[in-house]
Amino acid sequence: MNQTVHIPVMLEETMLGLEVRPGGVWVDGTLGGGSHTRALLERSAPDGRVYSLDVDPKALSRAKETFASYGDRWTGIDGNFRHLDDRLAELGVMQVNGILLDLGVSSDEIADSSKGLSFMTEGPLDMRLGPKANEDGLTAADVVNTWSAADLDKVIRELGEERYARRIVEAIMLARKSSRITRTTELASIIRQAVPTSYERGRIHPATRTFQALRIVVNNEIEALKEAIEGSYRILAPGGKLATIAFHSLEDRIVKIAFKDKERWEPLTKRPQEPTEEEVATNSRSRSAKLRVASKK
């Protein structure tokens, strides 16, 4: 896929929150479709530098073509944002002016059936966002087929905030006795049959929360976010800004708690900003987004 299909969320609000200006050094911790990176490059022109991290080789390869015209103003980094301060230091970057962490999964990744992120598309039950998304090679198939019922219930209930976790886990445990669960649509079917037919009154697919939980645990997203916030604090210049866009309450809570450290951060958004009704109407995936911005003291 050479062209991105991803639509950025709260692009203008994010740029305003970061106070992007000509010059400076800016970091997009989650390159994805590259829309936020492009905005950082345009608004920091003519001489601002932008560094973008991603664990997805396809995203980086696409970006190299997309941003070739920006020359050495743009640098793509193959790595997890949890190591952003170390990776930047390796390049001789010791301080930056602003960092963006868009915690959502891009539409390009969801559309890539080889990643197994979508319950609507046939694919392997993998869910790793890239080769460096985790350090142990764990896949969603490993979790579903080898973890205990108690551990599966904890993951789906806590990370997916799924009220029918127990019923879903019972169905998974029964199904895996017959054969290993290896495909996305197979798991989605098991989940659909486990929950009531009136699930969420049809507002979301029954597999949505379980797939979210599995993706989070496979990519170790909670710990990665905590480390990324710490790394951002270390490499930001005093007064530099960190903006995060979270898509579920667990992520947003982690950011909220971190920004409460008054010795480190000055929150610039007392309440998280949410997308406008107009944006939600044109991009339904933005509906749960919450933007928080804080400056380093």
- Could you tell me the two tokens for 286? 């933005």
Find tokens 């790394």 and name the residue: 231
Distance spanning both ends of the chain, measured CA to CA: 41
CB proximity list for 16: less than 8 A, separation 6 or greater: none
Q: 11-108+221-296: what fold?
A: Rossmann fold (3.40.50)
Amino acid 4: pLDDT: 52
The DSSP annotation for 185-199 comes to HHHHHHHHHHS-TTG
pLDDT along the chain (297 residues), means of 10: 66 96 97 94 98 94 95 96 97 97 82 85 92 85 98 96 96 97 97 89 86 95 96 98 94 96 95 91 86 97
11-108+221-296 shares its CATH topology with 135-218: no
Burial 233-265 (b: 16+ CB within 10 A, else e): bebbeeebbbbbbbbbebbbebbbebbeeeeeb
Q: How confident is the model at residue 200, as a pLDDT?
A: 67
Q: State if pTM tops 0.85.
A: yes
State the pLDDT at residue 260.
96
- Domain extents for the chain? 11-108+221-296, 135-218
Q: Please, are residues 181 and 210 in contact by the beta-carbon 8 Å criterion?
A: no
Tokens 């998974």 correspond to 172
Report the 10 Å Cβ neighbour count for 268: 16
For residue 270, the model assigns a pLDDT of 87
Return the CATH number of the domain spanning residue range 135-218.
1.10.150.170
Q: What is the pLDDT of residue 132?
A: 74
Question: Mind giving me the DSSP string for 101-112?
Answer: EE-SPPHHHHH-
**pLDDT confidence of residue 1:** 44
